[in-house]
């Protein structure tokens, strides 16, 4: 039985990744920043095949504990970078854990002989830090794919900038280490939607759905989305987990970074669908997903069904 280490495996996306690997017969080790906080991971203990699940305390800034965590893993998934929109101190809350954490992670996995595959859950921000607004020089109807030049702006949200820089760190690491003994593949989901597997109330992704459903704006960023009726590309959290599993178990994908996206809808239509009402406009495929469909064998769920499911 192979073992998968999932950093961030109890979060919104990470929980579905954990579930997917358990369902495919893996032993799964999930990181916890504080193992005494059972409320952070208790929802994982009732999953099918949870007898093959292990919870390990991990501080990603501590190389020694990180090395111990990945030491016996065949596959390592990193989806543990912070997702914070209402940020107070970008340097300590976002840039340090995201960028320095990625550097530490790459150094440690590079010295771990058992590892065959590494998958990093990046972000659409690796391609466009202006998301959900268009990249510089593009309009809201222009499509975007993996072949487009990545765009970063100092005016973008700090979370997006941190994810962009972390992805650049990964690309530079791959370029500087041409003879790695394992493959690194990244996936870059757009706005991730769906029902949470946990009852935690600290998830930004599920919190954003709650805000859209109830038309609430607790900060300027969310208010801007309403004011502009921004079109957001969305993807089902279960599809993200499936793409991660496929990226981890298919070989020949070294150095690739796949955009994961279903349709784009205006925020007003997203609010309607979250309340189980039909959208007024038809969805558009702005962030192209053909590469993930072709090379990962993905079939992306229509986002209307995802949002309707959330409303139940």
How confident is the model over 245-300, as pLDDT tens digits? 999 999 999 999 999 999 999 999 999 999 999 999 999 999 999 999 999 999 99
The residue to which tokens 């997702």 are assigned: 83
The residue to which tokens 């298919």 are assigned: 250
CA angle 108, 84, 305 (to 5 degrees): 100
Calculate the alpha carbon distances from 7 to 69, 239, 261, 281 in Å: 9, 19, 23, 38
**Mean pLDDT for the chain?**
93
Give per-residue pLDDT as tens, 65-123.
999 999 999 999 999 877 767 777 877 878 787 888 899 999 999 999 999 999 999 99
Q: Quick one: which of 230, 252, 211, 238 has its CA closest to 86?
A: 211
- Mean pLDDT of the 165-177 span: 96
Neighbours of 260 (CB within 10 A): 29
Q: Spell out the domain ranges in the chain.
A: 3-310
Topology, domain 3-310: Rossmann fold (3.40.50)
- Mean pLDDT of the 182-206 span: 89
pLDDT of residue 126 exceeding 80, the answer is yes
3-state secondary structure at position 294: helix
pLDDT of residue 49 exceeding 90, the answer is yes
Q: What is the reported pTM?
A: 0.95
pLDDT at 83: 75
Q: Quick one: which of 11, 128, 22, 32 has its CA closest to 79?
A: 11
With contact defined as beta carbons under 8 Å apart, do 75 and 142 qualify?
no
């Amino acid at each position: 039985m192979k073992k998968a280490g999932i950093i961030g495996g109890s979060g919104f996306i990470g929980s579905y990744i954990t579930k997917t690997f358990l369902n495919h017969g893996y032993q799964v080790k999930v990181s916890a920043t504080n193992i005494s906080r059972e409320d952070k991971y208790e929802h994982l203990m009732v999953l099918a095949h949870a007898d093959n699940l292990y919870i390990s305390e991990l501080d990603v800034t501590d190389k020694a504990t990180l090395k111990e965590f990945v030491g016996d893993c065949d596959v390592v998934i990193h989806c543990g970078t912070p997702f914070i929109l209402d940020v107070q101190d970008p340097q300590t809350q976002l840039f340090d854990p995201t960028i320095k954490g990625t550097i530490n992670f790459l150094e440690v996995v590079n010295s771990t002989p058992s590892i065959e595959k590494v998958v990093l859950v990046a972000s659409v921000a690796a391609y466009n830090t202006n998301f959900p607004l268009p990249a510089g020089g593009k309009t809201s109807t222009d499509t975007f794919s993996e072949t487009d030049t990545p765009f970063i702006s100092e005016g973008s949200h700090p979370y997006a900038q941190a994810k962009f820089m972390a992805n650049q760190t990964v690309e530079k690491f791959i370029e500087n280490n041409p003879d790695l003994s394992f493959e690194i593949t990244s996936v870059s989901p757009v706005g991730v939607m769906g029902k949470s597997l946990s009852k935690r109330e600290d998830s930004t992704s599920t919190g954003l759905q709650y805000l859209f459903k109830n038309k609430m704006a607790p900060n300027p960023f969310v208010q801007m989305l309403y004011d502009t009726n921004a079109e957001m590309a969305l993807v089902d959290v279960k599809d993200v987990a499936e793409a991660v599993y496929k990226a981890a178990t298919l070989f020949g994908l070294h150095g690739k970074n796949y955009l994961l996206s279903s349709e784009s809808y205006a925020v007003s239509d997203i609010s309607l669908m979250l309340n189980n009402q039909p959208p007024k406009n038809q969805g558009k495929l702005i962030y192209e997903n053909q590469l993930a469909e072709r090379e990962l064998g993905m079939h992306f769920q229509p986002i209307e069904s995802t949002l309707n499911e959330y409303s139940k």
